[in-house]
């Protein structure tokens, strides 16, 4: 029983920065729109997307390190952990050199294409975006050690504190300046502080030496695994970041800004929905070493249902409350944002059904199946986008994204089931109840919009509307999911009620 509790604690720790990022981004977005304007906000979204493409050049190493740390820890190989850190740091150094040069060279082209900032301003914003990415990648390498050791409290406390510092710094600079350059530079400084906090967390958990010179064989093993898993990053970039670039090029930075608003909301919900996966790779990797393939069977159905019982109702609540929520959040909703939110929610709900299965395949040390699926997503998304975007514009891009996610997810699950001997009954047991719950509870709310409802144009009434729709939807789903035992015990309504009763019961 200690291992499930450890997994729950580590999952809760891993979730803290996700919650903080979501809350702070929700609060910050309307401030940014008010101070920077939609055009500069769109430029920040585009430059951030370009910087994220640089993750490709780390060869997938940074996102793979926690798995290798867990593997070597289970095998009692301290030297392997030190060499893994060395491989990660080398990968980030090479990436940093390449992307900094690329940012300098790309500034004039982007300045001309977007027409919002001059070349010098664009170069400063691009370099800041790249610097933020590099600091975050260094932090990923450092945090891989405590995460792989399943001691996730200190690094996530540091990450949450860094997020809070970034938020405060962002609010201060926006209060003093309407310049995107100033905002970018302050964000870079705050991210560097977050990196220092990550280093402090590592020192607290792990004793020196912190890294070792990697041997060729060890480096080849990590890079080979990373290259296969890197296709996941490529798929995420294509499905989200490339869409921004296509929209900006075809329809302008304002439409890209509207897309970014919707994407921030959906990505925040996705982060909440995947909280149960955040600690699974190192935990499953270590248990596979100790207990073998039976771990796959134990984890798949149980954690798929739990993940979907959290994630799908969150997407459902977002969709049913979206028109009210956007007004309450932004005051004035950019055109088509609500529709973008709904379509992106459908796309990421489909991909969420594969989350646990993909995590288990990665833990099992063979990312090839996941990589092949990611390549399929890329091919489907790019080809369908190029085919329909010239005719349908924004909606063509979104429909292509949704279609690619649904088709690729279905093919992956078919192959996963064949690989590990699962039947479709296992899938139905895991996916069916949360899906039915989400759709059935949402049906009455959808009828409200079909037959017409007036959306307030001021924040106060809109907030009441969001609570009346999304709030009641969430409570209904929570009550049913708790009663049907779909949720982790410590997230169920009954467990929380028992704790409250015990807390307030008078001592005898």
- State the angle between helix axes of 243-251 and 253-273 in degrees (0 to 180), rounded to the nearest 10: 160
What is the residue-wise DSSP string for 72-103?
HHHTT-HHHHHHHHHHHHHHHHHHHHHHHHHH
Residue 69: is its pLDDT beyond 70? Answer: yes
Residues 6+ apart with CB under 8 A from 190: 162, 165, 166, 169, 170
Q: Are 279 and 7 in contact (CB under 8 A)?
A: yes
What is the residue-wise DSSP string for 165-215?
HHHHHHHHHHHH---HHHHHHHHHHHHHHHHHHHHHHHHHH-PSP---PPP
**Separation CA 113–CA 428 (nearest Å):** 48
Q: Are 28 and 187 in contact (CB under 8 A)?
A: no
Mean pLDDT, range 400-405, rounded to an integer: 84
Q: Are 328 and 462 in contact (CB under 8 A)?
A: yes
**pLDDT at residue 478 in the model:** 92
Mean pLDDT, range 56-81, rounded to an integer: 86
- Residue of 272, 302, 224 lying closest to 68 (CA atoms): 224
Q: How far is CA 241 from CA 236, 263, 367, 424, 492, in A?
A: 8, 10, 23, 33, 35
User: What SS3 class is residue 364?
Assistant: coil
Residue 472: is its pLDDT beyond 80? Answer: yes
The first and second tokens of residue 253, run together, are 């930075």
pLDDT tens-digit readout, 304-342:
888 899 889 999 999 999 888 888 877 777 777 888 888
pLDDT tens-digit readout, 369-394:
887 888 888 888 878 877 887 778 77
Which residue is it, tokens 């997503």?
377
The first and second tokens of residue 54, run together, are 């640089």
**Separation CA 322–CA 306 (nearest Å):** 24
**Separation CA 268–CA 240 (nearest Å):** 13
Please tell me which residue, 277 or 159, carries the higher pLDDT value: 159
Phi and psi at residue 206, in whole multiples of 5°? Answer: -125, 140
- pTM (two decimals): 0.68
pLDDT tens-digit readout, 134-187:
999 999 999 999 988 888 888 888 999 999 999 999 999 999 999 999 999 999
Q: Are 233 and 174 in contact (CB under 8 A)?
A: no
């Amino acid at each position: 029983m200690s291992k499930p509790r450890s997994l729950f604690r580590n999952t809760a720790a891993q979730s803290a920065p996700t919650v903080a990022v979501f809350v702070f981004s929700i609060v910050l977005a309307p401030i940014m729109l008010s101070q920077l304007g939609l055009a500069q906000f769109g430029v920040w979204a585009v430059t951030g997307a370009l910087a994220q493409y640089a993750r490709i050049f780390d060869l997938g190493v940074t996102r793979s390190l926690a798995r290798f740390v867990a593997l070597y820890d289970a095998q009692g190989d301290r030297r392997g952990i030190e060499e893994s850190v060395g491989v990660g740091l080398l990968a980030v150094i090479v990436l940093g050199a390449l992307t900094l040069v690329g940012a300098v060279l790309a500034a004039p082209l982007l300045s001309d294409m977007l027409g919002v900032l001059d070349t010098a301003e664009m170069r400063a914003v691009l370099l800041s975006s790249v610097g933020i990415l590099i600091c975050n990648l260094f932090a990923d390498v450092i945090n891989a050690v405590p995460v792989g050791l399943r001691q996730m409290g200190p690094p996530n406390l540091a990450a949450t504190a860094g997020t809070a510092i970034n938020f405060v710094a962002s609010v201060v600079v926006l209060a003093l300046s309407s310049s995107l350059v100033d905002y970018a530079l302050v964000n870079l400084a705050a991210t560097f502080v977050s990196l220092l906090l990550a280093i402090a967390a590592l020192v607290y958990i792990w004793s020196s030496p912190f890294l070792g010179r990697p041997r060729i064989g060890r480096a080849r093993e990590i890079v080979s695994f990373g290259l296969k898993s890197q296709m996941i990053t490529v798929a995420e970039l294509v499905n989200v970041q490339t869409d921004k670039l296509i929209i900006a090029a075809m329809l302008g930075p304002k439409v890209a800004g509207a897309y970014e608003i919707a994407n921030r909301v959906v990505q925040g919900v996705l982060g909440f929905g995947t909280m149960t996966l955040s600690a699974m790779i190192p935990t499953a990797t270590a248990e596979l070493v100790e207990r073998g393939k039976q771990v796959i069977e134990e984890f798949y159905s149980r954690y798929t249902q739990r993940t979907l019982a959290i994630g799908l109702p969150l997407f459902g609540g977002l969709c049913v409350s979206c028109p009210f929520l956007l007004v309450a959040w932004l005051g004035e909703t950019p055109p088509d944002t609500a529709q973008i939110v709904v379509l992106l929610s459908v796309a990421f709900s489909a991909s969420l059904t594969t989350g646990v299965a993909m995590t288990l395949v990665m833990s099992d040390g063979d990312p090839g199946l996941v990589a092949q699926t990611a390549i399929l997503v890329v091919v489907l998304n790019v080809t369908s986008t190029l085919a329909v975007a010239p005719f349908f514009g924004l909606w063509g891009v979104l429909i292509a994204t949704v279609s690619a996610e649904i088709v690729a997810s279905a093919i992956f699950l078919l192959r996963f089931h064949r690989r590990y001997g699962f039947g479709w009954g296992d899938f139905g047991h895991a996916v069916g109840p949360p899906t039915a719950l989400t759709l059935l509870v949402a049906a009455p709310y959808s009828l409200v919009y079909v037959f017409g409802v007036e959306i307030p144009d001021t924040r106060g009434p809109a907030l009441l509307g969001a609570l009346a729709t999304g709030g009641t939807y969430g409570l209904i789903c929570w009550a049913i999911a708790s009663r049907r035992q779909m949720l982790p015990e410590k997230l169920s309504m009954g467990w929380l009620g028992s704790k409250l009763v015990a807390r307030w019961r008078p001592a005898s």
